[in-house]
Amino acid sequence: MTSRRVVVSGVGMVSPVGNSAEAAWRAVASGQSGIGLVGRFDASGFPSRVAGEVRGFCPEQWMSPRDVSLSDPFLHYAVAAATMAIDDSGLMDDERARTRTGTCIATAAGGTSVLLAQHAILASKGPRFVSPMTVPFSICDMASGYVSIKFKLEGPNHSLVSACASGASAVGEAFHMITRGSVDAMVAGASDAIVPLHLAAFASAQALTTQDDEPCRLSRPFDRGRSGFVMSEGAAVLVLEERERARSRGARIYAEVAGYGSCADGHHITAPDASGRGAARAMCEAIGMAGIAPRDVGYVNAHATSTLLGDRAEVAALRHVFGGSLDAIPVSSTKSTTGHMLGAAGAAEAIFSIYAMRDRVLPPTINQDDLDPDCDVDSVPNVARPGSPAFVLSNSFGFGGHNTTLIFRHPLA
């Protein structure tokens, strides 16, 4: 453990289960699914026709109508979530915080809708009609950039991409930036938006469920009846702060970031290493950094997306790390209610992990009818359960073989 410690002092979220972190958590903890038939565009001819779409969200509440009209939903969600997190933290109550606060808001795909729309204009009308906002509002760093502009933050400002682990990587790398003294606070998280092209593409990659009966029942991690993940979207942002600074200003401290592990499978562009070796290394690194034993983890928020290969590989990794003690550790996947929020998932699940500790409630894996024998974990099936973990572990993995693990410590542990 380094001499500088990092805590979470603010959270914000836009998701298919609620447009605030608290609303999303209430839905997740009560097992309410945010998944339905795609309503935003005509997906009737698509192999996969279900998704977790953000609903009832008004981007003009967070950005100027002018900027909303020219930018991408990924940016809208990110700015909303970041604003909520910063307001929640009270960090900006002190103007002096600006020079020592940075941003790292990640994304898997960035402003794809803007790119596609402007490409269509290029093709139909020619280059002179391409918007001058195309580049700033499509590139992956602009969520971080826009938030830093909105709040006049002058610390390091960048984004990163590790596919569906992006949100977790952002939190982990922001943690390191604080511990090494580059900044005192970071606004860290991720955002991604559903795009028809990606819905088609993930389906082509055989990654999505193609069923549409009872959409809310289709995201079923660890269940024998699972048939692929359900694409979802949203943004989740956390404010991380150097612990003593947070304490001295009387900040509300949700949790401490106790450990972070990051490594690669070196195996395949989409499939995880079935042995779980890479994921296990990430978990071991995080556990070692937290200075705890594996059995001290009281709850695991799994990456488990409801794919055959991915869920099994993660359980294999968990067995490798925890051995027999895994039987006593609840392992649930909140993707069963939210769907897979792509880059945002890791940051959203970090927030759910923190709330689980705060409220002493372990969220369920819903749609558990018949546990896959190769996923033999206590998945907190269908109904939330009381629990008081002092340490929570959250996994996120991504195409390209990214393995990312975060460990959070209860503030009183």
Per rule CB under 8 A, is residue 66 in the interface with other proteins? yes
Per rule CB under 8 A, is residue 64 in the interface with other proteins? yes
Per rule CB under 8 A, is residue 119 in the interface with other proteins? no
Active site residue 158: no
Q: Which of 45, 96, 128, 324: binder of other proteins (CB under 8 A)?
A: 128
Active site residue 303: yes
Per rule CB under 8 A, is residue 61 in the interface with other proteins? no
Q: How far is the CB of 153 from other proteins (least distance, A)?
A: 21
Active site residue 375: no
Q: How far is the CB of 131 from other proteins (least distance, A)?
A: 6
| CB closer to other proteins, 68 vs 356 | 68
Q: How far is the CB of 257 from other proteins (least distance, A)?
A: 38
Per rule CB under 8 A, is residue 69 in the interface with other proteins? yes
Q: Are strands 391-398 and 299-301 parallel, antiparallel or unpaired?
A: parallel
SS3 19: coil
DSSP string, 215-282: GGGS--TTBTT--SB-BB-EEEEEEEEEHHHHHHTT----EEEEEEEEEE--S-SSSPPTT-HHHHHH
CB neighbour list of residue 120: distance below 8 Å, 6 or more residues apart? none
Alpha carbons 131 and 162: distance in angstroms, whole number: 29
Alpha carbons 273 and 282: distance in angstroms, whole number: 13
Q: How far is the CB of 128 from other proteins (least distance, A)?
A: 8
Per rule CB under 8 A, is residue 117 in the interface with other proteins? no
317-to-43, 332, 349, 385 alpha-carbon distances in Å: 36, 15, 19, 24
Choose one: 60-68, 80-88, 160-168, 331-339; the region binding other proteins (CB under 8 A): 60-68
Q: Total number of residues binding other proteins (CB under 8 A)? A: 12
88-to-85, 208, 240, 286 alpha-carbon distances in Å: 5, 35, 12, 27
| CB closer to other proteins, 80 vs 313 | 80
Catalytic residue numbers? Answer: 164, 303, 340
Which residues form the interface with other proteins (CB under 8 A)? 64-66, 68-70, 125, 128-129, 131-133
